[in-house]
Amino acid sequence: MREASDTLLDRARKGDARAFEDLAREVERPLFRLALRMLGQSADAEDVVQDALLAAWRSLGSFEGTSFRAWIFRIATNRALDRLRARRRRPESPLDPPLGDDDVIWSEPSAPGPELVDIAGDREALVVVETALATLPAEQRASLLLRDVEGFAYEEIALITTAEIGTVKSRIHRARLAVRNALVAKGWQGPAG
Amino acid sequence: MHPFADLSAYLDGALPDERRAEVGRHLAGCEICSARLAELRGTARLIAGLPDVRPSRSLVPRVSVPVWMAPLRTLSAIASGAAVLAFAASTLLASASLTSTGTPAVAAPAAAPQASLDRARGAGGAAASTAAPGPAGPQDASSPSAQFSAASPAPAPSANRSVAESDREKRLDTSTTAPPVVAEKGPTGPEAVALSVPARPQLGPSPWLWLLVAVAFAVLAFVLQRRLRTS
User: Contact B14/A154, CB-based, under 8 Å?
Assistant: yes
Name the residue in chain B with its Cα closest to that of A184. Answer: B39
Say yes or no: B37 contacts chain A, CB-CB below 8 A: no
Q: Which chain B residues have a beta carbon less than 8 Å from that of A192?
A: 38, 42
What is the per-residue pLDDT for B178?
A: 46
Q: Which chain A residues have a beta carbon less than 8 Å from that of B51?
A: 126
What percentage of chain B reaches a pLDDT higher than 90?
Answer: 26
- With CA atoms as reference, report the closest residue to B150 among B196, B194, B100, B109: B196
Who's near A135: CB < 8 A, 6+ residues apart? A178
**The most confident of A40-44, A117-121, B93-97, B168-172, by mean pLDDT:** A40-44
Q: How many CB atoms lie within 10 A of CB A81?
A: 20
Report whether pLDDT(B48) > 80: yes
- With CA atoms as reference, report the closest residue to A129 among A117, A119, A114: A119
Q: Which chain A residues have a beta carbon less than 8 Å from that of B59?
A: 24, 28, 31-32, 46, 49-50, 53
* CA atoms of B223 and B231, how far apart (whole Å): 12
* CA atoms of B198 and B211, how far apart (whole Å): 17
Greater confidence (A172 vs B65) lies with A172
Say yes or no: B49 contacts chain A, CB-CB below 8 A: yes
Q: Which chain B residues have a beta carbon less than 8 Å from that of A18?
A: 64
* CA atoms of B70 and A17, how far apart (whole Å): 14
- With CA atoms as reference, report the closest residue to A189 among A133, A97, A118: A118
pLDDT tier, B12 (very low <50, low <70, confident <90, very high otherwise): very high
Name the residue in chain A with its Cα closest to that of B66. Answer: A18
User: Contact B42/A191, CB-based, under 8 Å?
Assistant: yes
Report whether pLDDT(B168) > 90: no
What is the per-residue pLDDT for B3?
A: 93
User: Contact B64/A53, CB-based, under 8 Å?
Assistant: no
Tell me the average confidence (pLDDT) per consecutive run of 10 residues in chain A, 193 residues long: 74 87 93 96 95 93 86 96 85 57 65 44 85 95 97 96 96 96 86 60
* CA atoms of A140 and A98, how far apart (whole Å): 11
User: Contact B60/A106, CB-based, under 8 Å?
Assistant: no
Report whether pLDDT(B213) > 80: yes
Q: Give exposure, B121-158, as e/b (b: 16+ Cβ within 10 Å).
A: bbeebeeebeeeeeebeebbeebbebbbeebeeeebbb
Closest-CA distance, B222 to chain A, in angstroms, reads: 25
- Quick: pLDDT tens for B106-150: 444 444 444 444 444 444 444 444 444 444 444 444 444 444 444
Say yes or no: B30 contacts chain A, CB-CB below 8 A: no
* CA atoms of B120 and B182, how far apart (whole Å): 9
- Name residue B62's amino acid: R
* CA atoms of B123 and B115, how far apart (whole Å): 12
Who's near A137: CB < 8 A, 6+ residues apart? A95, A96, A97, A175
Query: Are B111 and B117 a contacting pair, CB within 8 Å?
Result: no
| Among candidates A53, A179, A183 on the partner chain, residue whose Cβ is nearest the Cβ of B60 | A53
What is the per-residue pLDDT for A100?
A: 56
Average confidence score pLDDT of chain B: 68
- DSSP string covering B110-148: HHHHHHHHHHHHHHHTHHHHTT-HHHHHHHHHHHHHHHH
Greater confidence (B230 vs B47) lies with B47
- In A115-153, alpha helices (H): 122-134, 138-148
User: Contact A180/B8, CB-based, under 8 Å?
Assistant: no
Q: Which chain B residues have a beta carbon less than 8 Å from that of A130?
A: 50
Report whether pLDDT(B97) > 50: yes
Say yes or no: B31 contacts chain A, CB-CB below 8 A: no
| Among candidates B38, B48, B63 on the partner chain, residue whose Cβ is nearest the Cβ of A20 | B63
What is the pTM (predicted TM-score) of this model?
0.61
What is the per-residue pLDDT for B103?
A: 46
Q: For the residues B177-194, what does the mean pLDDT come to?
A: 46
Q: Which chain B residues have a beta carbon less than 8 Å from that of A146?
A: none
Q: Which chain B residues have a beta carbon less than 8 Å from that of A106?
A: 4, 36
- With CA atoms as reference, report the closest residue to A45 among A69, A79, A20: A79
Closest-CA distance, A32 to chain B, in angstroms, reads: 7
